[in-house]
Amino acid sequence: MDDDRPPVVVYPPSPDGGRHVTIHGEPVGTANSLFDVLEFLRRAGLPAEDTAIDDPELIEWRGGGPYDWNNTP
């Protein structure tokens, strides 16, 4: 695993709007909202305050940022 990569990866929205989330390369679940991502962070012992969502050293957002939750234009 690349230590220069953020520990959390949030993948692009699926057709139903959920986003797959991994922490340290391990799947932790599907987030259906930003609140779910914050809960995954809290459970993993990572910073879960609102500012954490904008920290590129903590979270890599793929296929859209923290406010993109569906796959429709």
pLDDT for position 48: 86
Cα separations in angstroms, 27 against 8, 21, 30, 36: 10, 6, 9, 14
Give me the pLDDT at residue 2, please: 56
Query: What is the mean pLDDT, run by run of 10 residues, along the chain of 73 residues?
Result: 82 91 97 95 91 93 91 56
Q: Is 36 left (phi over 0), alpha (psi -120 to 50) or beta?
A: alpha
Quote the pLDDT of residue 71: 62
What tokens appear for 44 in the block?
Answer: 């993993």
Residue 18: per-residue pLDDT = 93
